[in-house]
Chains A and B, each alone.
Chain A
Amino acid sequence: DQQVKQNSPSLSVQEGRISILNCDYTNSMFDYFLWYKKYPAEGPTFLISISSIKDKNEDGRFTVFLNKSAKHLSLHIVPSQPGDSAVYFCAARGDLINNDMRFGAGTRLTVKP
């Protein structure tokens, strides 16, 4: 039962261009969404999040968009840099009582110089 799906296992973009990573979810009870970035041999690190009451959240080069009706969110990185090359995980959480944060399988982003 995969409630959070990242259908693209990998993405390759040129330095300076936009990277768009997508995530779909099935559980309408999710109300908080997070993106984590993971380098090899390291744990995931938090990147950006969005509450279900918003449709956009921006932090520097990173913007997350949420489309609740489509149960879809996306992470935009502009401009992409080689240091952004990593695996990106989408995660979703339910109400404040639910501790079970569900993760997608991840998308490996490669930014080519």
Chain B
Amino acid sequence: NAGVTQTPKFRILKIGQSMTLQCTQDMNHNYMYWYRQDPGMGLKLIYYSVGAGITDKGEVPNGYNVSRSTTEDFPLRLELAAPSQTSVYFCASSYWQGDTEAFFGQGTRLTVV
């Protein structure tokens, strides 16, 4: 039972490069989320999706893009990477919002140098 799978686990990017963080879930969840966690801080919501074809901004969306072409996949795109995007990124999914928990992937540690 894979749950939420993120790739890659680690990545070093140079300033100005771009990359896509992959996220897939096999629980048939409608809701998917991308969070970032900076050192000593809580998780902050970057983007979320309530279903295939529907995405919306969270608390810290600048510098990122997402798409949701299928229920299973929710990739996060970084264009023109900046040192401020150095963080640990977590993808999560839930059956719906409200009084239910979200399931998280293992995280992607990204360093921009």
Contact = CB atoms under 8 A, between A and B. Distances in A.
**Is chain B found bound to chain A in the same assembly?**
yes
B101 A99 contact: no
Interface stretch (B14-22, B42-50, B79-87): B42-50
B46 to A, nearest CB: 11
Interface in A80-113: 89, 91, 93, 96, 99-106
Interface residues of B, number: 27
A18 to B, nearest CB: 24
A100 B104 CA distance: 15
A103 B31 CA distance: 18
Interface residues of A, number: 27
A43 B44 contact: no
Interface centre among A36, A41, A44, by most chain B C-beta atoms within 10 angstroms, is A44
Contacts of A104: 42
Contacts of A46: 101-103
5 contacts: A6-B42, A44-B43, A49-B99, A51-B99, A103-B35
